[in-house]
Chains A and B, each alone.
Chain A
């Protein structure tokens, strides 16, 4: 017997399980309006991965957009909680340009946001939920953590100027050591400083030894604070099946994030399926108090995971002849469906295609006969 729940895809089942998990921890579902005012994105385009947004004029003359980002909308509209952190989760679509298809694509996202006073516990909770969310989708997952303040702190200590900073961030994102060496030469760094800059690309791996190596590179309080915070969050979040790693070359969108960064991968999928981190700058820009942290899961990407399902298989194939009584056929189909079976009625001469079936019935004017499975 098959329950309705079992007919869902693996991603749909995992999404339901995550809703339950988030709600158990006090997260409220946040349902957004279908459209957002275009000005929100134009005033804050530094926070977007692309300035291209689908816009249109509504019947009342307002310029609206299909949202390219959920967090901006939530931060703008969520009510402020003095001396508290608002916990929200969502399942929404975003619309972004696809570089390859030269067209916009709809991306289904699920995520959480914590807004307000962000303490160490809130950061740990979000990290734990990120790791647990990855586990919910089945294959081996890996959550990588970084802190933007580490790389930026080193750039400050080395006196890297704006143009070279951009090049260094670009090179870091690609783990491109030769490009970092070029930046070091252009900045006129000495041997030791150049080595420190290039060492950033090597700072990845299991969280404890990697943070130990990173400590040796710290120059100043900002970098040390980043490492101390990462160690604390990792120690608390490394539990159960959670797979955590550190990658300090992960720098993300530097206008968007300002501290802890999260990236989640699932084995078998080519790109990150979870993206998140600390984004206090967005709240400040939108005139809200406190900070923000959250993550988004790319459900569209996750749904590419190969699924082990037998949706081609029928439990019962009901074949009927031309002289069969439709009422008898309908009763047989309805009865099987009531038992939770997957059933299909076909004319006897109709090709069932590639579908398999476990049992079969042949209904004719003469009555009902039991057939064989395929």
Chain B
């Protein structure tokens, strides 16, 4: 097994916050910030190798051992339930999972509720807890369009500032899950690279504000 600790990091908006956090605890990420198409970055001084992957793929890399540890949103963990250790709540990338619809929407409880979402499992689990009969409409993006075009009654999606919701004339009706970035570890790596993983977790734990 590699001497490096392989860390799967998310690209995109959450990525910038994660690189800042890692740099605060001594894991240099400057190379990642430089614009380029590289997906693998090594930091020999810190003994880490970073893999830059799609946020929704971080947990897959970690579960299958391609990465020893990773940083991923709680929404992805709840949706896919990967078999990994969830060691820390990093307190960054905070947002909420919410039910939203047109601002004039009134729920008709006599009918099956049509729910558009990319978080199929989270939506099913939430409505099962309410014993509400639903029909899932699985979308991969621009979820906000669904109630505007009558494709669905409501959407279940992530809300951060609420701007996208407001700009599309939608309204949040319920927020039911707090989301933030989590530090996760592969179960086998945690056994065989325990010292380096624990060191990284301890350093991160020293600076996070939950």
Contacts and interface: CB of A to CB of B under 8 A. Distances in A.
B188 A272 contact: yes
24 contacts: A142-B191, A144-B191, A174-B84, A174-B85, A175-B86, A175-B190, A177-B87, A177-B88, A178-B89, A205-B194, A265-B188, A265-B192, A267-B1, A267-B192, A268-B1, A269-B188, A270-B63, A270-B65, A270-B188, A270-B189, A271-B83, A271-B187, A272-B187, A272-B188
Given A174-B86, A175-B85, A265-B188, A270 B64 contact: yes
Contacts of B87: 175-177
B4 to A, nearest CB: 14
A266 B189 CA distance: 10
A174 B87 CA distance: 8
Given A174-B85, A175-B87, A270-B186, A140 B210 contact: no
Contacts of A65: none
B131 to A, nearest CB: 16
B187 A176 contact: no
B159 to A, nearest CB: 21
A231 interface: no
B139 to A, nearest CB: 19
A175 B187 CA distance: 10
Interface in A135-150: 140, 142, 144
List 8 A-B pairs, minimum CB-CB distance, nearest first: A270-B65, A176-B86, A175-B85, A178-B89, A174-B86, A265-B188, A267-B192, A265-B191
- In this complex, which of B65, B85, B188 has the most chain A Cβ atoms within 10 angstroms of its Cβ? B188
A179 interface: yes
B115 to A, nearest CB: 21
A144 B63 CA distance: 19
A100 to B, nearest CB: 8
Interface in A141-176: 142, 144, 174-176
A123 interface: no
Interface of A: 140, 142, 144, 174-179, 205, 245, 265-272
Report the interface size class on chain B. Answer: 20 to 34
A177 to B, nearest CB: 8
B34 to A, nearest CB: 31
Contact of A179 (B63, B86, B188, B190): B86
Contacts of B85: 174-176
Contacts of A175: 85-87, 190
Contacts of B186: 270
Interface string B103-118: 0000000000000000
Contacts of A245: 191
Contacts of A140: 192
Nearest to A267: B192
Given A174-B86, A175-B87, A178-B210, A269 B65 contact: yes
Interface in B45-91: 63-65, 83-89
A265 B87 CA distance: 19
A178 B189 CA distance: 21
Nearest to B205: A177
Interface in B174-203: 186-192, 194
A267 B189 CA distance: 8
Contacts of B210: 178
A176 B65 CA distance: 19
A175 B201 CA distance: 12
A271 B191 CA distance: 11
Contacts of A205: 194
Interface in B1-48: 1
A249 to B, nearest CB: 9
A266 B188 CA distance: 8
Contacts of B189: 270
B91 to A, nearest CB: 10
A265 B1 CA distance: 13
A226 B151 CA distance: 56
A245 B192 CA distance: 11
A140 B192 CA distance: 9
Contacts of A265: 187-188, 191-192
Contacts of B89: 178
B86 A271 contact: no
Interface in B138-195: 186-192, 194
